[in-house]
Amino acid sequence: MNHPTVLISEVGPRDGLQSVRATMSTPHKLAWIDALVAAGLREIEVGSFVPARRLPQLADTAEVVRHARRHPGVTVMALVPNLQGAQAALDAGVHKLTLPVSASTAHSLANVRRTPAQMVDEAAAIVRLRDERAPAVLVEAGLSTAFGCTLQGAVAEDDVVRLAEALVAAGVDECGLSDTTGMAHPAQVRRLFRRVRAAIGARTGAAHLHNTRGLGLANCLAAWDEGVRTFDASLGGLGGCPYAPGASGNVVTEDLVFMFEAMGIDTGIDLERLFAARAPLREGLPGEPLYGMTPEAGLPLGFLPATRQEHADVH
Amino acid sequence: MNHPTVLISEVGPRDGLQSVRATMSTPHKLAWIDALVAAGLREIEVGSFVPARRLPQLADTAEVVRHARRHPGVTVMALVPNLQGAQAALDAGVHKLTLPVSASTAHSLANVRRTPAQMVDEAAAIVRLRDERAPAVLVEAGLSTAFGCTLQGAVAEDDVVRLAEALVAAGVDECGLSDTTGMAHPAQVRRLFRRVRAAIGARTGAAHLHNTRGLGLANCLAAWDEGVRTFDASLGGLGGCPYAPGASGNVVTEDLVFMFEAMGIDTGIDLERLFAARAPLREGLPGEPLYGMTPEAGLPLGFLPATRQEHADVH
C-alpha cells in the first residue's frame, strides 16, 4: 500500500482568470478556492501582483492571498513579473512566488520588455529581497516558451538549460518548464527535462504543459516518466480559447488527476469533490466554457483511486 | 535520417460512420476515402459486413471495398461479426478482416449474443474459410473491452491474455487490444500490452484507444513505449458523443499523427493533406461535430515532420 505521489499545482485562479474577459468577483474567487482546498489541492496559484490597469481581473490578489492563507497545509502562490510585484506579494503573505522568465528573447521582449538575462538579474534581486524579508518563502522561476515560441519558432534547448543554470545561480529554489505555446511533444518533454535535471538537479520544478494540440496529458506522462513530480493544471481547463471547440490552453486538472489516480499515483485529491469545485467556478464566470472530459464521462465503473488500489504498478 | 515508423489505421469510415445517426452517401464515402489515401493513409477500415437492417449506414460496404481496392498500396479492411460476414467480405475483396471479440463475457453476450469462447470458435471457422478461399487475406481479432467494461467493470488481465492465446491458437494473424469503453490508463496499457506480447509475441496487433476521458494520446504514447507500431484512429474523432463538449470516442487521427510526426516518428502521412480530408467528411455529414485540436490550432511555427528532422530521438 505504498503509492507514489505527485503534487498538482492549481493555476486556474491566476492563469485561468487572467485569460478570460470577465472578472470573477472576490467572493466567488474565495468560494472557488475553498472548494479546491476541500477537494485536496495543496498548492494554488491564487493571483498575480501586476498593475491593476494591466490585469483588472486580478486586482484583488492581496485579499485573495490573505483568505487562502487561512487554509492550513496549503501553499499559497502568486505570480510576480518583477521586484515590485515581489514586494507586494511578500506584503500580502504568499508562501511561494513564481516569476515567469522566457527562454525566447523575442517572447521576453514582447511580454515584459526585458531580455532573459535582465530577468535573471530581476530574479537575483527578488531572491535578495526574500532572503531579507521572508526567508521561508520559496521563489520559483517558470521558464516560459521552453518548448517553442509563436514569435521565433524553435527555442534552442541549450538556451533553456543555460537559463535554468543562471537562475539557480541567482538563487531561485525551483525552475519549472512551461509549454506556453502548446508546441511541446513527448520526446521533447523527456529530453528537455532530462537535460535540465542533469544541469540543476533537484531544483528542477514543475511541468506546466498546455493542451493546445491535444497532447497535454501525453506530455505530462512523458514528464512523469522523467521524474517530474509537480504538475500545473487548471480546473475546467480555464484559460482556453473559446473559439476552438474542445481546445484549451492549460492541462485540465480533472483529467490529469484522473490519469494519475487511475495509474495508482496518489494526488491527495478526491475526484468527486474536484468535479464539485466546478460549480463555484461556473457560478463565478457564467457562460464561460469549461473543459474536462472526465467530469463529462464520469468515473469508470469500478474505478479505484490510488490509495484504494491493492498495489500500484506505474511502470 | 533513419526514422522509426508507425502505421496509422484509419477507422472512421467504419467505426465513425456506424456511430452517427446520419448516413453518408456512397459517393461522399468514396471521396472521403480518396482524400485519406491522398494524405498517405495506408490502412483503412472502410466498413462492416453486418446485416443492413442493423447498420444501414454501412449497407454499401461491398461497393466501398471495391472502390478502395483501386488504390495501390492501401490495405482495405472491414469488420465482420461472424462467418457469414467474413464470406461477404471475401466476396467483396477485402485485404484484411477484423473480428471484434469481447474480453468481457457480459459485453460479448450483450453485443453478439455469444460468449468469448464461442467467438474463438467463430474465429477458427473464419480462418479456415480464409485459408480455403483467400490465403493472402489477413485475419485480425480486436479484443474489445480489454481495459474495462461498462457492464461488468474491471476485466481481469488474465482473461485478456488467455483470450489472445486462444485466438492465436485458432489461427488469427493479429490480436489487437481495444479500449472500447475509454477506461484505460497508461500504466494499464503498458502492463497489458507487455503481458500480451509475452504471450503471443509478434502477433500482438493494433492499439485501439479511445479519448473518452481525455487520455487517448497518453495511452497511445504508453503503447508506443511498449513496442506497439499500429494505432487505430478516426478522422475528426468521428464516433464521439456529441452531447459531451470536446468528448470523443476514438482517438483523433489528426492529433495522433501530429504527436508522432513531432516526435520524429514517420507516419507516412502529410498533415496538411490530412486536415484537408476533413472537408469531404464534413460535406458528407453536414452538421456533425468534428474534433481535433491540431487542425484548430494549426501546426506550430517551424514545425518539421519526421522525415525532415535531422535526427529523431524518441526516447
Cβ–Cβ below 8 Å for B183 and A300:
yes
From chain A, the residues in CB contact with B212 under 8 A are 293, 297
- SS3 state of residue B153: strand
**Interchain proximity B302–A222, CB inside 8 Å:** no
DSSP 8-class letter at B41: -
Going by C-beta distance under 8 Å and a sequence separation of 6 or more, which residues neighbour residue A62?
A49, A88, A91, A92
Query: Residue B231 belongs to what H/E stretch?
Result: strand B230-233
pLDDT one digit per residue (tens) for chain A, 315 residues: 578 899 999 999 999 999 888 999 999 999 999 999 999 999 999 999 999 998 999 999 999 999 999 999 999 999 999 999 999 999 999 999 999 999 999 999 988 899 999 999 999 999 999 999 999 999 999 999 999 998 889 999 999 999 999 999 999 999 999 998 899 999 999 999 999 999 999 999 999 999 999 999 999 999 999 999 999 999 999 985 444 444 458 999 999 999 999 999 999 999 999 999 999 999 999 999 898 999 989 999 999 999 999 865 554
Extract the C-alpha cell encoding B228. Answer: 506497439
Mutating which of B221, B231, B250, B274 best tests the A interface, going by the most A Cβ atoms within 10 A? B221
Chain A CB contacts of B252 under 8 Å are: 214
A158-181: b (≥16 Cβ within 10 Å) or e: ebbbebbbbbbebebbbbbbbbbb
Instruction: Chain A: give the shortest CA distance to residue B133, in Å.
Output: 43
CATH of the domain at B69: 3.20.20.70
CB contact under 8 A, A214 and B294: yes
pLDDT at residue number A248: 58
When the pLDDT of each residue in chain B is averaged and rounded to a whole number, the result is: 94
Q: Which range is most confident: A178-182, B103-107, B217-221? A: B217-221
Of A215, A220, A293, the CB nearest to B259: A215
Distance between CA atoms of A54 and A80, rounded to whole angstroms? 13
| Chain B residue with the nearest C-alpha to that of A215 | B217
B272 to A52, B216, B234, B250, B253: CA distances (angstroms) = 42, 22, 16, 21, 12
- Strand A43-48 versus strand A7-10 pairing type: parallel
pLDDT (average), residues B45-62: 95
Under a CB-based contact definition with an 8 Å cutoff, are residues A213 and A182 in contact?
yes
Our CA-based measurement puts residue A313 at a distance from the nearest CA of chain B, in whole angstroms, of 7
- Segment B66-79 shows an average pLDDT of 98
| B218: chain A residues, CB-CB within 8 Å | 217-218, 220-221, 259
pLDDT bin (cut points 50, 70, 90) of residue B242 is very low
DSSP state of B78: E
For the segment B247-263, the average pLDDT, to the nearest whole number, is 91
Taking CB atoms and an 8 Å limit, are A186 and B258 in contact across chains?
Answer: no
Contact in structure between B279 and B32 (CB atoms under 8 Å): no
End-to-end distance of chain B based on CA atoms, in angstroms? Answer: 16
**ipTM, 2 decimals?**
0.94
CB contact under 8 A, B215 and A264: no
From the list A149, A175, A220, A241, the catalytic residue is A241
Mutate to test the interface with A, among B3, B213, B299 (most CBs of A within 10 A): B213
d(CA B255, CA B298): 11
Minimal C-alpha gap between B211 and chain A (Å): 8
| pLDDT of A310 | 81
Q: Is residue A199 part of a domain?
A: yes
Instruction: State how far residue A155 is from chain B, nearest Cα, in angstroms.
Output: 10
A241 is catalytic: yes
Three-state secondary-structure class, residue B175: strand
| Structural contact between residues A122 and A154, judged by C-beta atoms closer than 8 angstroms | no
Q: Which residues contact B114 (CB under 8 A, 6 or more apart)?
A: B108, B122
Cβ–Cβ contact B127 with A under 8 A: no
Q: Which domain holds residue B229?
A: 7-308
Cβ-contact A278, A10 below 8 angstroms: no
Question: Is it the case that residue B312 has pLDDT exceeding 70?
Answer: no
pLDDT of residue B246: 44
The total of other beta-carbon atoms located within 10 Å of residue B314's CB is 17
| CA B263 vs CA A157, A226, A281: distances in Å | 15, 16, 36
Q: What percent of chain B has pLDDT over 70?
A: 95
DSSP string of chain A, one letter each residue: ----B-EEEE-IIIIIGGGSSS---HHHHHHHHHHHHHHT--EEEEEE-S-TTT-GGGTTHHHHHHHHTTSTT-EEEEE-SSHHHHHHHHHHT-SEEEEEEESSHHHHHHHHSS-HHHHHHHHHHHHHHHHHH-TTSEEEEEEETTT-BTTTB---HHHHHHHHHHHHHTT-SEEEEE-TTS---HHHHHHHHHHHHHHHGGGEEEEE-B-TTS-HHHHHHHHHHTT--EEEEBGGGTT--TTSTT--SBPBHHHHHHHHHHTT-B-S--HHHHHHTHHHHHHHSTT-----HHHHH-PPTT---GGGSS-----
CA distances from B241 to B19, B145, B246, B278 (A): 9, 18, 9, 18
Chain A: give the shortest CA distance to residue B79, in Å: 27
- pLDDT of the residue at A249: 85
Task: Give the Cα separation of A3 and A310 in Å (integer).
Answer: 10
Tell me whether B155 touches chain A (CB under 8 Å): no
Q: How confident is the model at residue B247 (pLDDT cuts 50, 70, 90)?
A: very low
Q: Please give the single-letter amino acid code of residue B141.
A: A
Answer yes or no: is B211 within a domain: yes
What is the average pLDDT across B24-41? 98
pLDDT of residue A1: 53
Residue at B240 is within a domain:
yes
> Of B58, B80, B59, B203, nearest to B130 (Cα)?
B80
Residue A202: its pLDDT value, please? 97
Cα–Cα distance, B175 to B192 (Å, whole number): 12
Does the pLDDT value for residue B315 go beyond 60? no
B212 SS3 class: coil
Q: Give the SS3 label for residue B313.
A: coil
What pLDDT score was predicted for residue B243? 42
Query: Is A18 inside any structural domain?
Result: yes
Pick from B190, B217, B312: which is nearest to A214 by CB?
A: B217
- A69: exposed, middle or buried (C-beta count within 10 Å: 0-12, 13-18, 19+)? middle
Torsion of CA A99, A105, A111, A117, to 10 degrees: 40
The C-alpha cell that represents B266 in the structure block: 514517420
Domain assignment present for residue B315? The answer is no
pLDDT of residue A7: 98
B295 interaction partners in chain A (CB closer than 8 Å): none
A121: in domain: yes
Assigned domain for A1 exists: no
- CB contacts < 8 Å between A and B, how many? 153
* Low-confidence winner among A36-40, B38-42, B55-59 (lowest mean pLDDT): B55-59
Mean pLDDT of B152-167: 96
Alpha-carbon dihedral A117, A121, A126, A132, rounded to 10 degrees: 150
Does residue B302 belong to any structural domain of this protein? Answer: yes
The confidence score (pLDDT) of residue B74 equals 98
- The answer to whether B187 contacts A221, with C-beta atoms less than 8 Å apart, is no
Nearest to B313 among A191, A220, A259 (CB): A191
CA B264, B268, B274, B275: dihedral to nearest 10 degrees? 20
Instruction: Please state the domain count of chain B.
Output: 1
CB B92 within 8 A of CB B85: no
CA distance B38 to chain A (A): 23
**DSSP H stretches of helix in B134-231:** 157-169, 186-200, 216-225
Segment 251-270 of chain A within 8 Å of chain B by CB:
252, 255, 258-259, 262-264
The reply to whether residue A263 touches residue B292, judged by beta carbons under 8 angstroms, is: no
Cα–Cα dist B263/B44, whole Å: 23
Contact A293 B213 (CB under 8 A): yes
Q: What is the pLDDT of residue A313?
A: 53
- Give residues with Cβ within 8 angstroms of A255, minimum separation 6: A217, A292, A293, A294, B213, B214, B215
CB contact under 8 A, B211 and A314: no
The region of weakest confidence among A243-252, A256-265, B15-24, B120-129 is A243-252
Average pLDDT for B93-116: 94
**What's the pLDDT at B19?**
87
* B297 to A222: CB separation less than 8 angstroms, yes or no: no
